[in-house]
Structure 1
């Protein structure tokens, strides 16, 4: 009888540990690398059914910014975009994740390679998305 209780206790602790790890490390780990020769500001991330856009703080030249975005499980189908305005105030949208649903996770690397005279950014984006 004691062996059964020990096995059940270990299984419960294991399941709680796995669930806790998922809650802490779920969602998308996003790294933005500023490879330009200027500070970048005014960037934000957005996706469908988000309560408020995710503002990216100023990123110094040749510096990185990391964040975790963990959308709620009930958002439905969505895509994630990075928005910014150029020097003329024109809004630009760059797709960061083409498709995801609640519960998806992964790593996203956004390299901002250059900025032209008008303030338009050139990107290189790599995504590694998992369904669970």
Structure 2
């Protein structure tokens, strides 16, 4: 009987912990992984109503960069995009979050898979967004 009570107590504690983590997470935790053999530079993130674009420092080959973006509650309906220019100066855009509003939170993993000879990047984006 004591074992059952201990198991129930552990389950309740785990559930409360998970709910608390999700409920109190603030903004978007973004991780950018550079899986290429080249340093990646000149990329930035932007979304509607942000005062200045969020410039990402150079990410060395096979390194990661992490940041947290906490948009204000009055951001309204928005999307988040990653922008960069290739070697020819052509601007490229990659969708990071297709839709969010103020108060949303989540985890975003952006993986840079490859860089071609013109400096064009290939990305994989995985988003886990919470409405609260």
- What TM-score comes out, normalization by structure 2 length? 0.82
The corresponding residue for 2:98 is: 98
The corresponding residue for 2:82 is: 82
Q: How many residues align?
A: 111
Aligned partner of residue 102 in structure 1, secondary structure: coil
Distance (whole Å) between structure 2 residues aligned to residue 122 and residue 42 of structure 1: 15
The corresponding residue for 1:34 is: 34
Residues 21-42 of structure 1: CA distance to partner in whole angstroms, max 9, x if unpaired? 93xx400000000001100110
Residues 46-103 of structure 1: CA distance to partner in whole angstroms, max 9, x if unpaired? 0001010000001000000000000000010000000000000000000000000000
Matches within 5 A, 1:60-71: 60-71=60-71
Distance (whole Å) between structure 2 residues aligned to residue 84 and residue 35 of structure 1: 17
The corresponding residue for 1:117 is: 117
Deviation at 1:107, TM superposition (A): 0.2
Runs of 4+ in 1 over 2 A off after TM superposition: none
Distance (whole Å) between structure 2 residues aligned to residue 42 and residue 79 of structure 1: 20
- What TM-score comes out, normalization by structure 1 length? 0.82
Distance (whole Å) between structure 1 residues aligned to residue 59 and residue 115 of structure 2: 13
Distance (whole Å) between structure 1 residues aligned to residue 113 and residue 121 of structure 2: 7
Aligned partner of residue 110 in structure 2, secondary structure: strand
Q: Does 1:108 align with 2:108?
A: yes
Distance (whole Å) between structure 1 residues aligned to residue 75 and residue 29 of structure 2: 18
Q: Which runs of 5+ in 2 are unaligned?
A: 1-19
